[in-house]
Structure 1
Amino acid sequence: MTGDVPATLRLGDRPVAEYAWRPHLPASLAPRPYLHPVRTLGGTVVTELMPASHRHHLGVSVAVAEVDSANFWGGRTFIPGHGPTWLDNQGHQEHLRWLRRKPDELIHTLRWKTIDGAPLLYERRTLSCRPAGPDAWALEFGFQLTNIAERELPIRSPAAHGRAGAGYGGFFWRAPSGDCRVTASGDGDAHGRPARWLSVAGPGWTLVFLGGDEATRADPWFVRTRDYLGIGSSLAWDQPLVLAPHASLSRRIVTVIADGGLPPGQAATYAADLAS
Protein backbone atom coordinates (compact mmCIF):
# COMPACT_ATOMS: atom_id res chain seq x y z
CA MET A 1 0.00 0.00 0.00
CA THR A 2 1.27 3.43 -0.94
CA GLY A 3 -0.11 6.94 -0.85
CA ASP A 4 0.59 10.45 0.38
CA VAL A 5 2.34 10.83 3.73
CA PRO A 6 -0.32 10.49 6.45
CA ALA A 7 -1.35 13.50 8.50
CA THR A 8 -0.58 13.06 12.20
CA LEU A 9 -2.86 14.10 15.06
CA ARG A 10 -0.84 15.14 18.09
CA LEU A 11 -1.43 16.12 21.68
CA GLY A 12 1.58 18.29 22.43
CA ASP A 13 4.56 16.36 21.11
CA ARG A 14 2.80 13.00 21.41
CA PRO A 15 1.39 11.43 18.17
CA VAL A 16 -1.94 9.75 18.87
CA ALA A 17 -3.28 8.93 15.39
CA GLU A 18 -2.20 8.74 11.76
CA TYR A 19 -4.67 9.78 9.05
CA ALA A 20 -4.17 8.23 5.61
CA TRP A 21 -5.99 10.93 3.65
CA ARG A 22 -5.16 9.76 0.13
CA PRO A 23 -4.21 6.06 0.31
CA HIS A 24 -3.64 3.95 -2.79
CA LEU A 25 -5.82 0.86 -2.34
CA PRO A 26 -7.38 -1.81 -4.57
CA ALA A 27 -10.82 -0.89 -5.91
CA SER A 28 -12.33 -3.91 -4.13
CA LEU A 29 -11.70 -2.23 -0.76
CA ALA A 30 -13.76 0.88 -1.64
CA PRO A 31 -10.73 3.20 -1.21
CA ARG A 32 -11.26 5.91 1.38
CA PRO A 33 -9.33 7.92 3.97
CA TYR A 34 -8.87 6.22 7.33
CA LEU A 35 -7.26 6.57 10.74
CA HIS A 36 -4.65 3.94 11.65
CA PRO A 37 -2.89 3.47 13.91
CA VAL A 38 -4.87 5.14 16.67
CA ARG A 39 -3.03 4.87 20.00
CA THR A 40 -3.72 5.36 23.67
CA LEU A 41 -1.53 7.90 25.45
CA GLY A 42 0.51 4.93 26.64
CA GLY A 43 1.12 3.82 23.05
CA THR A 44 -1.28 0.87 22.73
CA VAL A 45 -2.74 0.57 19.22
CA VAL A 46 -6.55 0.31 19.28
CA THR A 47 -7.30 -0.04 15.54
CA GLU A 48 -6.79 -2.76 12.93
CA LEU A 49 -6.08 -2.28 9.24
CA MET A 50 -7.01 -4.71 6.45
CA PRO A 51 -7.17 -7.86 8.61
CA ALA A 52 -7.02 -11.16 6.74
CA SER A 53 -10.71 -12.00 7.15
CA HIS A 54 -12.05 -8.53 6.27
CA ARG A 55 -9.54 -6.72 4.09
CA HIS A 56 -11.97 -3.85 3.54
CA HIS A 57 -11.95 -2.89 7.26
CA LEU A 58 -9.74 0.19 7.37
CA GLY A 59 -9.09 1.36 10.93
CA VAL A 60 -11.53 4.23 11.55
CA SER A 61 -13.42 5.47 8.50
CA VAL A 62 -16.79 6.46 7.08
CA ALA A 63 -17.96 3.38 5.19
CA VAL A 64 -21.45 2.87 3.77
CA ALA A 65 -22.69 -0.43 2.36
CA GLU A 66 -24.77 1.13 -0.38
CA VAL A 67 -25.38 4.60 -1.79
CA ASP A 68 -27.72 4.34 -4.78
CA SER A 69 -26.33 0.83 -5.54
CA ALA A 70 -22.66 1.93 -5.18
CA ASN A 71 -20.69 0.08 -2.48
CA PHE A 72 -18.66 2.40 -0.24
CA TRP A 73 -18.04 -0.32 2.37
CA GLY A 74 -15.78 -2.55 0.31
CA GLY A 75 -15.88 -6.25 -0.36
CA ARG A 76 -19.10 -7.96 -1.38
CA THR A 77 -22.58 -6.46 -1.76
CA PHE A 78 -25.62 -8.08 -0.14
CA ILE A 79 -28.21 -9.09 -2.74
CA PRO A 80 -31.69 -10.01 -1.43
CA GLY A 81 -32.44 -13.69 -2.04
CA HIS A 82 -28.83 -14.41 -2.95
CA GLY A 83 -26.58 -13.14 -0.17
CA PRO A 84 -23.17 -11.40 -0.28
CA THR A 85 -22.00 -11.18 -3.89
CA TRP A 86 -18.95 -9.79 -5.64
CA LEU A 87 -19.99 -6.95 -7.95
CA ASP A 88 -18.02 -4.31 -9.80
CA ASN A 89 -19.74 -1.54 -7.85
CA GLN A 90 -17.19 -0.37 -5.28
CA GLY A 91 -16.95 3.39 -5.05
CA HIS A 92 -14.18 5.54 -3.64
CA GLN A 93 -13.80 8.70 -1.56
CA GLU A 94 -11.54 11.25 -3.22
CA HIS A 95 -9.69 13.94 -1.26
CA LEU A 96 -10.33 17.41 -2.72
CA ARG A 97 -8.53 19.97 -0.56
CA TRP A 98 -7.40 20.78 2.92
CA LEU A 99 -9.28 23.50 4.77
CA ARG A 100 -7.18 23.15 7.92
CA ARG A 101 -4.20 20.95 8.76
CA LYS A 102 -3.00 21.50 12.31
CA PRO A 103 -1.48 19.05 14.82
CA ASP A 104 -4.75 18.82 16.77
CA GLU A 105 -7.29 19.42 13.97
CA LEU A 106 -7.73 18.24 10.38
CA ILE A 107 -10.48 19.52 8.08
CA HIS A 108 -10.77 18.56 4.43
CA THR A 109 -13.31 18.09 1.67
CA LEU A 110 -13.96 14.92 -0.31
CA ARG A 111 -16.02 13.66 -3.22
CA TRP A 112 -17.67 10.24 -3.20
CA LYS A 113 -17.60 8.69 -6.69
CA THR A 114 -18.91 5.48 -8.23
CA ILE A 115 -16.54 2.93 -9.77
CA ASP A 116 -17.17 4.69 -13.09
CA GLY A 117 -16.23 8.09 -11.66
CA ALA A 118 -19.72 9.58 -11.33
CA PRO A 119 -19.93 11.95 -8.32
CA LEU A 120 -22.63 11.20 -5.75
CA LEU A 121 -21.71 13.00 -2.53
CA TYR A 122 -19.63 15.95 -1.42
CA GLU A 123 -18.23 15.70 2.10
CA ARG A 124 -16.70 18.06 4.61
CA ARG A 125 -14.86 16.10 7.33
CA THR A 126 -13.38 17.29 10.62
CA LEU A 127 -11.03 15.31 12.86
CA SER A 128 -9.69 16.71 16.12
CA CYS A 129 -8.12 15.55 19.35
CA ARG A 130 -8.09 16.90 22.90
CA PRO A 131 -7.14 15.69 26.39
CA ALA A 132 -9.76 13.81 28.39
CA GLY A 133 -7.85 13.19 31.62
CA PRO A 134 -4.40 11.97 32.69
CA ASP A 135 -4.76 8.60 30.91
CA ALA A 136 -7.19 9.41 28.10
CA TRP A 137 -7.82 11.60 25.10
CA ALA A 138 -10.85 12.29 22.92
CA LEU A 139 -11.12 12.01 19.14
CA GLU A 140 -13.90 14.01 17.49
CA PHE A 141 -14.94 12.74 14.06
CA GLY A 142 -17.52 14.84 12.24
CA PHE A 143 -18.76 14.65 8.66
CA GLN A 144 -21.35 16.35 6.48
CA LEU A 145 -22.55 14.63 3.32
CA THR A 146 -24.31 16.57 0.55
CA ASN A 147 -26.11 15.00 -2.41
CA ILE A 148 -24.56 16.32 -5.64
CA ALA A 149 -26.08 13.72 -7.97
CA GLU A 150 -29.17 15.73 -9.05
CA ARG A 151 -31.45 12.84 -8.01
CA GLU A 152 -32.54 11.18 -4.78
CA LEU A 153 -29.85 8.99 -3.24
CA PRO A 154 -31.02 6.09 -1.05
CA ILE A 155 -28.49 5.06 1.61
CA ARG A 156 -28.93 1.44 2.67
CA SER A 157 -27.44 -1.21 4.91
CA PRO A 158 -27.72 -4.96 4.26
CA ALA A 159 -30.42 -4.99 6.97
CA ALA A 160 -32.51 -2.71 4.77
CA HIS A 161 -32.43 -5.57 2.23
CA GLY A 162 -33.51 -8.13 4.84
CA ARG A 163 -30.20 -9.30 6.36
CA ALA A 164 -31.20 -9.26 10.04
CA GLY A 165 -28.85 -7.38 12.36
CA ALA A 166 -26.56 -6.15 9.56
CA GLY A 167 -27.44 -2.48 9.92
CA TYR A 168 -23.90 -1.22 9.45
CA GLY A 169 -22.92 1.84 7.46
CA GLY A 170 -21.56 5.22 8.57
CA PHE A 171 -18.81 5.84 11.10
CA PHE A 172 -17.01 2.52 11.67
CA TRP A 173 -14.15 1.52 13.99
CA ARG A 174 -12.32 -1.78 13.52
CA ALA A 175 -10.76 -2.55 16.91
CA PRO A 176 -8.19 -5.23 17.79
CA SER A 177 -9.77 -8.67 18.02
CA GLY A 178 -9.70 -10.56 21.31
CA ASP A 179 -11.46 -10.63 24.65
CA CYS A 180 -13.51 -7.54 25.31
CA ARG A 181 -16.38 -6.28 27.45
CA VAL A 182 -19.12 -4.11 25.98
CA THR A 183 -21.44 -1.97 28.10
CA ALA A 184 -23.80 0.85 27.20
CA SER A 185 -26.26 3.28 28.69
CA GLY A 186 -29.84 2.06 28.89
CA ASP A 187 -31.06 -1.50 29.10
CA GLY A 188 -29.77 -4.55 27.26
CA ASP A 189 -27.53 -5.06 24.25
CA ALA A 190 -26.54 -1.86 22.45
CA HIS A 191 -26.52 -3.55 19.04
CA GLY A 192 -29.35 -2.14 16.96
CA ARG A 193 -30.47 0.61 19.32
CA PRO A 194 -29.44 4.17 20.20
CA ALA A 195 -27.44 4.67 23.40
CA ARG A 196 -25.98 7.84 24.84
CA TRP A 197 -22.65 6.07 25.37
CA LEU A 198 -21.09 2.75 24.44
CA SER A 199 -17.97 1.42 26.17
CA VAL A 200 -15.67 -1.30 24.84
CA ALA A 201 -12.91 -2.55 27.15
CA GLY A 202 -10.08 -4.67 25.79
CA PRO A 203 -6.78 -5.86 27.30
CA GLY A 204 -5.16 -2.68 28.62
CA TRP A 205 -7.44 -0.18 26.89
CA THR A 206 -10.99 1.21 26.81
CA LEU A 207 -12.92 3.02 24.09
CA VAL A 208 -16.03 5.07 24.89
CA PHE A 209 -18.19 6.10 21.93
CA LEU A 210 -20.55 9.07 22.22
CA GLY A 211 -22.98 10.69 19.84
CA GLY A 212 -21.85 14.30 19.59
CA ASP A 213 -25.21 15.77 18.56
CA GLU A 214 -28.90 14.86 18.66
CA ALA A 215 -28.97 13.39 15.15
CA THR A 216 -26.05 11.07 15.93
CA ARG A 217 -27.47 10.09 19.31
CA ALA A 218 -30.67 8.98 17.55
CA ASP A 219 -28.77 6.52 15.31
CA PRO A 220 -28.55 2.85 16.37
CA TRP A 221 -25.17 1.38 17.22
CA PHE A 222 -23.70 -1.53 15.29
CA VAL A 223 -21.63 -3.77 17.59
CA ARG A 224 -19.93 -6.92 16.34
CA THR A 225 -17.90 -9.05 18.77
CA ARG A 226 -18.18 -12.46 17.08
CA ASP A 227 -15.34 -13.15 14.58
CA TYR A 228 -14.09 -9.57 14.87
CA LEU A 229 -14.54 -6.44 16.97
CA GLY A 230 -16.25 -3.62 15.09
CA ILE A 231 -18.25 -0.65 16.33
CA GLY A 232 -20.27 1.68 14.16
CA SER A 233 -22.93 4.36 14.22
CA SER A 234 -25.58 3.39 11.68
CA LEU A 235 -27.06 5.88 9.22
CA ALA A 236 -29.75 3.50 7.93
CA TRP A 237 -30.41 0.53 10.19
CA ASP A 238 -33.26 -1.36 8.52
CA GLN A 239 -34.86 1.32 6.36
CA PRO A 240 -33.24 3.38 3.59
CA LEU A 241 -32.23 6.94 4.37
CA VAL A 242 -33.15 8.92 1.26
CA LEU A 243 -31.14 12.08 0.63
CA ALA A 244 -32.88 14.55 -1.69
CA PRO A 245 -30.90 16.46 -4.34
CA HIS A 246 -28.72 19.16 -2.71
CA ALA A 247 -29.77 17.96 0.78
CA SER A 248 -27.18 17.28 3.49
CA LEU A 249 -26.81 15.16 6.58
CA SER A 250 -24.33 15.68 9.41
CA ARG A 251 -23.03 13.34 12.09
CA ARG A 252 -20.47 13.75 14.88
CA ILE A 253 -18.96 10.97 17.00
CA VAL A 254 -16.68 11.53 19.97
CA THR A 255 -14.49 8.60 21.04
CA VAL A 256 -12.54 8.55 24.28
CA ILE A 257 -9.37 6.45 24.04
CA ALA A 258 -8.11 5.42 27.48
CA ASP A 259 -5.34 3.29 28.91
CA GLY A 260 -6.60 0.50 31.19
CA GLY A 261 -10.12 0.21 32.53
CA LEU A 262 -12.49 2.92 33.69
CA PRO A 263 -14.01 3.41 37.14
CA PRO A 264 -17.80 2.94 37.44
CA GLY A 265 -19.70 5.90 36.09
CA GLN A 266 -16.79 7.34 34.10
CA ALA A 267 -18.35 6.61 30.69
CA ALA A 268 -21.49 8.49 31.70
CA THR A 269 -19.32 11.38 32.90
CA TYR A 270 -17.59 11.50 29.52
CA ALA A 271 -20.99 11.59 27.83
CA ALA A 272 -22.07 14.52 29.96
CA ASP A 273 -18.83 16.45 29.52
CA LEU A 274 -17.84 15.77 25.90
CA ALA A 275 -20.94 15.00 23.82
CA SER A 276 -22.61 18.40 23.86
Structure 2
Amino acid sequence: MNVEIEGVEVAVWNDGAGVEPVLSPRPYLHPVRTLGGAVVTEEVPADHRHHLGVGVAVPDVSGASFWGGRTFTPDRGSVLLDNHGRQRSGGLRPGPEGEDLVEEVVWEGPDGRELLREERRWRARRLDGSGWALDLECAVRNTSGRDLSVGSPATNGRAGAGYGGLFWRAPIGARAPLVLGPGGARGEGDLHGSRAAWVALCGGDAAAPWTLVFHQPGGRTDPWFVRAREYPGVGPALAWEERLALPAGRVLVRALRTAVLDGRVEDPGVLAAAVAAPA
Protein backbone atom coordinates (compact mmCIF):
# COMPACT_ATOMS: atom_id res chain seq x y z
CA MET A 1 0.00 0.00 0.00
CA ASN A 2 1.25 3.48 -0.89
CA VAL A 3 1.02 6.64 1.21
CA GLU A 4 0.38 9.75 -0.86
CA ILE A 5 0.20 13.48 -0.25
CA GLU A 6 -1.53 15.53 -2.92
CA GLY A 7 -0.96 12.75 -5.43
CA VAL A 8 2.74 12.30 -4.61
CA GLU A 9 3.82 8.90 -3.28
CA VAL A 10 5.86 9.51 -0.12
CA ALA A 11 5.96 6.05 1.48
CA VAL A 12 5.29 2.38 0.82
CA TRP A 13 3.94 0.10 3.54
CA ASN A 14 5.27 -3.46 3.78
CA ASP A 15 3.64 -6.16 5.92
CA GLY A 16 7.01 -7.80 6.58
CA ALA A 17 5.72 -11.30 5.86
CA GLY A 18 8.65 -12.07 3.55
CA VAL A 19 11.37 -10.96 5.96
CA GLU A 20 13.79 -13.67 7.08
CA PRO A 21 12.98 -15.10 10.55
CA VAL A 22 16.41 -14.13 11.91
CA LEU A 23 15.60 -10.48 11.12
CA SER A 24 12.48 -10.52 13.33
CA PRO A 25 9.78 -10.00 10.65
CA ARG A 26 7.60 -6.93 11.23
CA PRO A 27 5.58 -4.37 9.28
CA TYR A 28 7.40 -1.20 8.24
CA LEU A 29 7.53 1.71 5.81
CA HIS A 30 10.13 1.72 3.00
CA PRO A 31 10.95 3.53 0.86
CA VAL A 32 9.98 6.81 2.46
CA ARG A 33 10.69 9.84 0.27
CA THR A 34 10.74 13.61 0.45
CA LEU A 35 8.26 15.43 -1.74
CA GLY A 36 11.16 15.94 -4.14
CA GLY A 37 11.80 12.19 -4.35
CA ALA A 38 14.88 11.73 -2.15
CA VAL A 39 14.79 8.37 -0.31
CA VAL A 40 15.18 8.82 3.46
CA THR A 41 14.90 5.21 4.73
CA GLU A 42 16.97 2.05 4.40
CA GLU A 43 15.88 -1.59 4.16
CA VAL A 44 18.09 -4.61 5.04
CA PRO A 45 21.36 -2.64 4.69
CA ALA A 46 24.64 -4.52 4.59
CA ASP A 47 25.80 -2.96 7.87
CA HIS A 48 22.68 -4.03 9.84
CA ARG A 49 20.47 -6.35 7.81
CA HIS A 50 17.78 -6.35 10.52
CA HIS A 51 17.11 -2.62 10.06
CA LEU A 52 13.80 -2.17 8.25
CA GLY A 53 12.85 1.41 7.35
CA VAL A 54 10.40 2.96 9.81
CA GLY A 55 8.61 0.79 12.35
CA VAL A 56 8.59 -0.56 15.88
CA ALA A 57 11.51 -2.78 16.85
CA VAL A 58 12.35 -3.96 20.36
CA PRO A 59 15.43 -6.11 21.10
CA ASP A 60 14.20 -7.72 24.31
CA VAL A 61 10.66 -8.49 25.46
CA SER A 62 11.30 -10.85 28.36
CA GLY A 63 13.96 -12.56 26.27
CA ALA A 64 12.24 -12.47 22.86
CA SER A 65 13.87 -10.31 20.18
CA PHE A 66 11.69 -8.17 17.96
CA TRP A 67 14.74 -6.30 16.68
CA GLY A 68 16.49 -9.02 14.72
CA GLY A 69 20.11 -10.03 14.39
CA ARG A 70 22.32 -10.70 17.37
CA THR A 71 21.46 -10.33 21.04
CA PHE A 72 23.82 -8.77 23.58
CA THR A 73 24.43 -11.07 26.55
CA PRO A 74 26.34 -10.17 29.74
CA ASP A 75 28.66 -13.18 29.52
CA ARG A 76 29.24 -13.65 25.78
CA GLY A 77 28.64 -10.23 24.23
CA SER A 78 26.63 -10.07 20.99
CA VAL A 79 25.66 -13.55 19.83
CA LEU A 80 23.10 -14.98 17.45
CA LEU A 81 20.37 -16.70 19.44
CA ASP A 82 17.23 -18.59 18.47
CA ASN A 83 15.05 -15.98 20.17
CA HIS A 84 13.50 -14.07 17.28
CA GLY A 85 9.84 -13.18 17.43
CA ARG A 86 7.52 -11.95 14.71
CA GLN A 87 5.04 -9.11 14.34
CA ARG A 88 2.05 -10.14 12.23
CA SER A 89 0.00 -7.31 10.75
CA GLY A 90 -3.70 -7.60 10.03
CA GLY A 91 -3.27 -5.06 7.21
CA LEU A 92 -3.99 -1.36 6.96
CA ARG A 93 -7.47 0.16 7.17
CA PRO A 94 -8.68 3.76 7.24
CA GLY A 95 -9.17 5.22 10.72
CA PRO A 96 -12.56 6.38 11.94
CA GLU A 97 -11.97 9.92 10.71
CA GLY A 98 -10.42 8.81 7.43
CA GLU A 99 -7.12 10.61 8.08
CA ASP A 100 -5.21 7.84 9.85
CA LEU A 101 -4.16 4.45 8.59
CA VAL A 102 -4.62 1.84 11.31
CA GLU A 103 -3.29 -1.69 11.65
CA GLU A 104 -3.54 -4.36 14.32
CA VAL A 105 -0.23 -6.07 14.96
CA VAL A 106 0.18 -9.30 16.91
CA TRP A 107 3.60 -9.87 18.47
CA GLU A 108 4.43 -13.58 18.65
CA GLY A 109 7.38 -14.99 20.58
CA PRO A 110 9.84 -17.55 19.18
CA ASP A 111 7.39 -20.32 20.10
CA GLY A 112 4.57 -18.68 18.12
CA ARG A 113 2.56 -17.68 21.20
CA GLU A 114 1.07 -14.21 21.40
CA LEU A 115 2.86 -11.86 23.78
CA LEU A 116 1.51 -8.47 22.74
CA ARG A 117 -1.27 -7.00 20.62
CA GLU A 118 -0.78 -3.53 19.19
CA GLU A 119 -2.86 -0.88 17.50
CA ARG A 120 -0.56 1.15 15.25
CA ARG A 121 -1.60 4.42 13.61
CA TRP A 122 0.10 6.23 10.74
CA ARG A 123 -0.80 9.74 9.57
CA ALA A 124 0.84 11.72 6.76
CA ARG A 125 0.17 15.43 6.26
CA ARG A 126 1.54 18.32 4.21
CA LEU A 127 3.66 20.99 5.85
CA ASP A 128 4.21 24.53 4.66
CA GLY A 129 7.09 24.69 2.22
CA SER A 130 8.85 21.65 0.80
CA GLY A 131 8.00 19.12 3.46
CA TRP A 132 5.56 16.72 5.01
CA ALA A 133 5.15 15.06 8.39
CA LEU A 134 4.61 11.46 9.44
CA ASP A 135 2.97 10.69 12.78
CA LEU A 136 3.39 7.16 14.12
CA GLU A 137 1.60 6.09 17.29
CA CYS A 138 1.53 2.64 18.86
CA ALA A 139 -0.54 1.28 21.72
CA VAL A 140 0.85 -2.11 22.75
CA ARG A 141 -1.10 -4.31 25.19
CA ASN A 142 0.42 -7.20 27.12
CA THR A 143 -1.87 -10.09 26.17
CA SER A 144 0.44 -12.89 27.31
CA GLY A 145 -1.36 -13.48 30.61
CA ARG A 146 1.83 -12.85 32.57
CA ASP A 147 4.01 -9.90 33.50
CA LEU A 148 6.60 -8.93 30.90
CA SER A 149 9.40 -6.39 30.70
CA VAL A 150 11.22 -4.54 27.93
CA GLY A 151 15.01 -4.51 27.87
CA SER A 152 17.89 -3.48 25.64
CA PRO A 153 21.59 -4.23 25.21
CA ALA A 154 22.20 -1.41 27.71
CA THR A 155 20.14 -3.12 30.40
CA ASN A 156 22.23 -6.23 29.74
CA GLY A 157 25.49 -4.36 30.21
CA ARG A 158 26.37 -2.66 26.90
CA ALA A 159 26.63 1.02 27.85
CA GLY A 160 25.01 3.53 25.49
CA ALA A 161 23.09 0.89 23.55
CA GLY A 162 19.64 1.45 25.04
CA TYR A 163 17.89 1.21 21.69
CA GLY A 164 14.45 -0.22 21.07
CA GLY A 165 11.01 1.19 20.33
CA LEU A 166 9.90 3.37 17.45
CA PHE A 167 12.89 3.51 15.11
CA TRP A 168 13.81 5.25 11.87
CA ARG A 169 16.72 3.87 9.85
CA ALA A 170 17.98 6.48 7.40
CA PRO A 171 20.14 5.71 4.34
CA ILE A 172 23.89 5.67 4.65
CA GLY A 173 25.77 8.15 2.47
CA ALA A 174 29.27 9.18 1.50
CA ARG A 175 29.51 11.07 4.78
CA ALA A 176 27.68 10.91 8.08
CA PRO A 177 24.64 13.18 8.41
CA LEU A 178 24.81 16.31 10.50
CA VAL A 179 23.01 15.93 13.85
CA LEU A 180 21.32 19.00 15.35
CA GLY A 181 19.17 19.76 18.37
CA PRO A 182 17.80 22.72 20.31
CA GLY A 183 19.96 25.12 22.29
CA GLY A 184 22.94 24.77 19.99
CA ALA A 185 23.25 20.99 20.46
CA ARG A 186 25.31 19.59 17.62
CA GLY A 187 26.60 16.12 16.92
CA GLU A 188 25.83 12.59 18.03
CA GLY A 189 27.61 13.15 21.35
CA ASP A 190 25.31 16.01 22.33
CA LEU A 191 22.01 14.33 21.43
CA HIS A 192 22.55 10.61 22.08
CA GLY A 193 20.86 9.80 25.40
CA SER A 194 19.39 13.29 25.73
CA ARG A 195 15.75 14.19 26.22
CA ALA A 196 15.89 17.03 23.71
CA ALA A 197 12.61 18.42 22.39
CA TRP A 198 13.71 17.44 18.88
CA VAL A 199 16.58 15.86 16.98
CA ALA A 200 17.42 16.51 13.33
CA LEU A 201 19.50 14.63 10.76
CA CYS A 202 20.73 16.49 7.67
CA GLY A 203 21.95 14.06 5.05
CA GLY A 204 21.91 13.01 1.42
CA ASP A 205 24.25 14.23 -1.33
CA ALA A 206 24.48 17.46 -3.30
CA ALA A 207 21.95 16.23 -5.83
CA ALA A 208 19.31 15.15 -3.29
CA PRO A 209 19.88 16.59 0.20
CA TRP A 210 17.30 15.86 2.89
CA THR A 211 16.52 16.71 6.49
CA LEU A 212 14.60 14.66 9.05
CA VAL A 213 13.33 16.23 12.28
CA PHE A 214 12.17 13.90 15.08
CA HIS A 215 9.90 14.82 17.98
CA GLN A 216 7.94 12.90 20.62
CA PRO A 217 4.45 14.43 20.84
CA GLY A 218 2.14 14.09 23.80
CA GLY A 219 4.40 15.44 26.52
CA ARG A 220 6.57 12.31 26.96
CA THR A 221 10.25 12.41 26.04
CA ASP A 222 12.18 9.15 26.33
CA PRO A 223 15.97 9.37 25.87
CA TRP A 224 16.96 9.61 22.23
CA PHE A 225 19.00 6.83 20.65
CA VAL A 226 21.03 8.59 17.94
CA ARG A 227 23.49 7.10 15.50
CA ALA A 228 25.25 9.04 12.73
CA ARG A 229 28.88 7.96 12.34
CA GLU A 230 28.39 4.18 12.26
CA TYR A 231 25.05 4.40 10.46
CA PRO A 232 22.20 6.96 10.49
CA GLY A 233 19.28 6.05 12.74
CA VAL A 234 17.12 7.72 15.39
CA GLY A 235 14.44 6.57 17.82
CA PRO A 236 13.15 7.13 21.36
CA ALA A 237 14.51 4.47 23.72
CA LEU A 238 12.08 2.45 25.85
CA ALA A 239 14.77 0.92 28.09
CA TRP A 240 17.71 3.31 28.10
CA GLU A 241 19.24 2.18 31.39
CA GLU A 242 16.62 0.10 33.20
CA ARG A 243 14.13 -2.50 32.09
CA LEU A 244 10.60 -1.21 31.52
CA ALA A 245 7.95 -3.23 33.33
CA LEU A 246 4.87 -4.21 31.32
CA PRO A 247 2.43 -6.01 33.64
CA ALA A 248 -0.21 -8.38 32.28
CA GLY A 249 -3.01 -6.44 30.58
CA ARG A 250 -1.16 -3.11 30.71
CA VAL A 251 -0.99 -0.89 27.60
CA LEU A 252 2.20 0.90 26.55
CA VAL A 253 1.64 4.00 24.38
CA ARG A 254 4.37 5.85 22.47
CA ALA A 255 4.43 8.29 19.53
CA LEU A 256 6.98 9.72 17.10
CA ARG A 257 6.52 12.65 14.73
CA THR A 258 8.97 13.10 11.87
CA ALA A 259 9.17 16.06 9.51
CA VAL A 260 10.56 15.02 6.12
CA LEU A 261 12.10 17.98 4.33
CA ASP A 262 13.86 18.52 1.01
CA GLY A 263 17.22 20.24 1.28
CA ARG A 264 19.71 20.69 4.07
CA VAL A 265 17.90 22.68 6.75
CA GLU A 266 20.04 23.88 9.67
CA ASP A 267 18.00 26.78 11.06
CA PRO A 268 16.89 25.72 14.59
CA GLY A 269 13.73 27.82 14.36
CA VAL A 270 12.66 26.17 11.13
CA LEU A 271 13.47 22.71 12.48
CA ALA A 272 11.48 23.23 15.69
CA ALA A 273 8.53 24.67 13.80
CA ALA A 274 8.42 21.69 11.43
CA VAL A 275 7.40 19.32 14.25
CA ALA A 276 5.46 21.79 16.38
CA ALA A 277 2.34 22.01 14.22
CA PRO A 278 -0.58 19.91 15.58
CA ALA A 279 -1.46 16.71 13.72
Identify the match of residue 206 of structure 1 among 208, 211, 220. Answer: 211
| Letter of the 1:141 counterpart | L
Partner of 1:15: 9
Count the aligned residue pairs: 267
2:206 matches 1:195: no
Number of the residue aligned with 2:119: 124
Alpha-carbon distance in structure 2 between the residues aligned to 1:143 and 1:221 = 17
**Runs (5+) with no aligned partner, structure 1:** 1-6
1:3 maps to what in 2? none
CA contact (8 A) 2:57 2:66 kept: yes
1:72-126 residue CA offsets vs partner (Å, 9 max, x unmatched): 0000111112101111100000113544279963101011001210111000000
* Correspondence for 1:247: 250
Task: Report deviation, 1:147.
Answer: 0.3
Separation in 2 of the partners of 1:158 and 1:186? 30
1:187 Cα deviation from its structure 2 partner: 6.4
Answer yes or no: is 1:182 the counterpart of 2:185. no
Measure how far apart 1:271 and its partner are: 3.6
More moved, 162-171 vs 188-197? 188-197
TM-score, normalization: structure 2? 0.91
> Alignment partner of 2:155: what SS?
helix
**Stretch moving more, 235-244 or 254-263:** 254-263
**Residue 32 (structure 1) aligned with residue 26 (structure 2):** yes
- Contact 1:8–1:103 at 8 Å: present in 2 too? no
- 2 CA distance for matches of 1:263 and 1:228? 20
SS in 1 for 2:273: helix
SS at match of 2:166: strand
CA distance in 1 between counterparts of 2:20 and 2:245 reads: 29
Q: 1:252 Cα deviation (Å)?
A: 1.0
Secondary structure in 2 matching 1:158: coil
- For 1:245 and 1:138, the matched residues in 2 are separated by 34
The whole-number CA distance in structure 2 between the counterparts of 1:191 and 1:274 is 26
Q: Percent identity?
A: 44
Q: 2:236 & 2:13 partners in 1: Cα distance?
A: 20
Q: Mean alpha-carbon deviation: is it higher for 247-256 or for 14-23?
A: 14-23
Q: Which moved more, 1:172-181 or 1:112-121?
A: 172-181
Question: Where does residue 53 of structure 1 map in the other structure?
Answer: 47
> Equivalent residue for 1:148?
143
Which range moved further: 165-174 or 181-190?
181-190
1:210-221 matched pairs, under 5 angstroms = 210-215=215-220, 217=221, 219-221=222-224
Structure 1 range deviating more: 122-131 or 266-275: 266-275
Residue 270 of structure 1: SS of its match in structure 2?
helix
CA distance in 2 between partners of 1:224 and 1:263 (Å) = 18
- The separation in 2 between residues aligned to 1:104 and 1:175, in whole angstroms, is 25
**Please, what TM-score do these two structures have when normalized by structure 1?**
0.92
Q: Is the 8 A contact 2:53 2:170 kept in 1?
A: yes
- 1:52–1:128 distance in 2 versus 1, CA, 3 Å: same
Cα separation, partners in 2 of 1:15 and 1:143, compared to 1, 3 Å: same
Instruction: Give the root-mean-square deviation of aligned CA atoms.
Output: 1.7
Task: Tell me how far 1:226 sits from its aligned partner.
Answer: 2.3
Please give the alpha-carbon distance, in whole angstroms, between the structure 2 residues aligned to 1:37 and 1:96.
Answer: 21
1:75 to 61, 69, 94: 69
> Which of 233-242 and 20-29 deviates more?
20-29
